[in-house]
Amino acid sequence: MEGVKFPAYSSFHAYSKSHFSQIRQLKTLSREMRFAMRVVATALPFRVNQYVIDQLIDWDNVPDDPIFQMTFPQPGMLSREHFEEVATLLKSNADNKTIMNTVHRIHMELNPHPAEQMTLNVPMLNGVPLQGIQHKYRETVLFFPTQGQTCHSYCTFCFRWPQFAKEKELRICIKEGLNLHEYLKGHKEVSDLLVTGGDPMVMKSSSLSRYLLPLRSPDFDHIQTIRIGTKALTYWPQRFVSDNDADELLFTFEKLVKSGKHIAIMAHYNHWREMETPIAREAIRQVRNTGAVIRAQGPLLAHINDDKDVWATMWRKQVRLGMTPYYMFVERDTGAYRHFKVPLARAWEIYQGGIQQVSGLARTVRGPSMSASPGKVEIQGVAEVKGETVFVLRFLQGRNPDWVERPFFAKFDPDATWLNHLKPAFGEERFFYEEEFEAMRTRREKKNKLDY
Ligand SMILES: *Cc1c(COP(=O)(O)O)cnc(C)c1O
Ligand code: SF4
């Protein structure tokens, strides 16, 4: 690709709900459909950029196009009652305050904080809760840099929707990097730092390097791996190719690799169509040239990728482009979940149906996995044991590392879509980890009360 230029979209341009009328392609859609999109975008976050609109969405296939489903508001994302409520307000030109109050109440009914991220995972430094850091599994610390809490486009199914929905003032926290470094220094059991968001790739390269380059010092020898969770390879591959500071970004990756760190770009992909454009492929090549590896992960979603062949094609293409398929997630029980959820039984069939079609190099992907409060729980399959149909489950990650890789069993339920719908098999009262998990939770609640 030497010499290939990418002149279009050299500068980033995004639309939000107030700019619907400026999106040329929407003009061909029916009036009803455009109104429905406005209704949903009033209640849930919306942001899409010109590259996604022009290069990724197949407008001849709207509304079924998976990339359209992934980025534009869909009527099914709200319940009928919520939809009607907002529609009525918009039709009657209700004032902003009335709309915001209704929207706020709707948000509260959409399970805005699943898996207790807010309360259970925030660590302490010198007795003070550390904003921007989560530490749930022994080996891995999550870091949410303030400047990386938005994305180049928003996914309609995103479980982080509450943070995008809030018109929050950007909390500039200069101490954040220092906190991160101090915390990591004191936790030698941590081998992985996972920088996440939003999308940390919306940050300037200089900010990212300020956080990451100090990790080359001997104080951080225990940090073997730096992972960066991103969907920029899909939504804004220009970030790695033609943005003003793309070179600086790639150089930062290279420096970290040279210093002996493993750099893993945790690329969020939902469909093989995301990696078809020349610039998306160039971005993958550029990242790989630095010595970083790309691991691919993403949720299974109705209307987008609930099809074994879509996954098989995606995994094959990822391997071919030099990426490692890593996780297939189950969509979390929050936000627009109603539109995207897939029953666990069906999720496993899709995973199995996809895996059966690919070679061993693509079978590195694990799943379908639920990131639930006690840990990441994988559905290993459906089996008959002593006349009872059961789900076979295991922890891929647990709040207690000792839970990992212990098979356990739940009654088969064709409609269950999340861990809390499952009941233990064989007439047992509780799953093996539940008592201990309850105790952890109680301990943490007491501690929170003391601290605040
Ligand atoms: C998924 C996840 C990790 C990383 O787990 P791996 O299995 O090592 O990829 C770390 N912390 C949290 C909170 C997670 O959800
Ligand atoms: S890129 Fe990730 S964080 Fe951003 S909207 Fe999509 S799923 Fe959410």
- DSSP for 59-77, please give it: GGGTTT-HHHHHHS--GGG
Question: Checking DSSP bridges between strand 262-268 and strand 293-300, what pairing results, if any?
Answer: parallel
- Closest listed ligand to the CA of 268: 2
In a domain, 42, yes or no: yes
Q: Which DSSP helix (H) or strand (E) runs through 45?
A: none
CB 387 within 8 A of CB 347: no
Distance CA 433, CA 406 (A): 10
| Closest among 270, 293, 210 to 245, alpha carbons compared | 210
**Which two tokens mark 272?**
């093989």
In a domain, 63, yes or no: yes
Q: How far is CA 146 from CA 230, 328, 343, in A?
A: 15, 27, 35
Separation of 140 CA from ligand 1 center, angstroms? Answer: 7
**Which residue, judged by its Cα, is nearest atom 10 of ligand 1?**
140
**Which two tokens mark 182?**
């101090």
**Which residue, judged by its Cα, is nearest atom 6 of ligand 2?**
155
Residue 164 CA, closest ligand 2 atom number = 5
**Which residue, judged by its Cα, is nearest atom 3 of ligand 2?**
198
Range of the domain at 45: 14-108
Domains of the chain: total: 1
Separation of 229 CA from ligand 2 center, angstroms? Answer: 9
The residue type at 80: R
Separation of 159 CA from ligand 2 center, angstroms? Answer: 8
Q: Is 335 touching ligand 2 by the criterion CB < 6 Å?
A: no
Vertex 271 angle, CA 139 and 133, to 5°: 25
Note the pLDDT of residue 169.
44
Q: Is 374 touching ligand 2 by the criterion CB < 6 Å?
A: no
Separation of 197 CA from ligand 2 center, angstroms? Answer: 8
Pocket lining for ligand 1, CB < 6 angstroms = 134, 136-137, 140, 142, 194, 371, 376, 396-397
pLDDT tens by residue, the chain, 452 residues? 444 555 556 789 999 998 988 999 999 999 999 999 999 999 999 999 999 999 999 999 999 999 999 999 999 999 999 999 999 999 999 999 999 999 999 999 999 887 665 567 888 877 777 878 999 999 999 999 988 889 999 999 999 888 888 755 444 455 677 789 999 999 999 999 999 989 999 999 999 999 999 999 999 999 999 999 999 999 999 999 999 999 999 999 999 999 999 999 999 999 999 999 999 999 999 999 999 999 999 999 999 999 999 999 999 999 999 999 999 999 998 999 999 999 999 999 999 999 999 999 999 999 999 999 999 999 999 999 999 999 999 999 999 999 999 999 999 999 999 999 999 999 999 999 999 999 998 888 777 655 44
- Closest listed ligand to the CA of 295: 1
Distance CA 210, CA 148 (A): 13
In a domain, 49, yes or no: yes
10 Å CB burial of residue 225 (0-12, 13-18, 19+) is middle
Note the pLDDT of residue 175.
65
Distance CA 355, CA 378 (A): 15
In a domain, 64, yes or no: yes
Q: Is 38 touching ligand 2 by the criterion CB < 6 Å?
A: no
In a domain, 60, yes or no: yes
In a domain, 91, yes or no: yes
Q: Is 332 touching ligand 2 by the criterion CB < 6 Å?
A: no
In a domain, 86, yes or no: yes
Distance CA 66, CA 306 (A): 10
Note the pLDDT of residue 423.
97
Note the pLDDT of residue 88.
97
| Model pTM score | 0.94
Note the pLDDT of residue 210.
94
Residue 136 CA, closest ligand 1 atom number = 13
Note the pLDDT of residue 452.
40
Note the pLDDT of residue 132.
86
In a domain, 367, yes or no: no
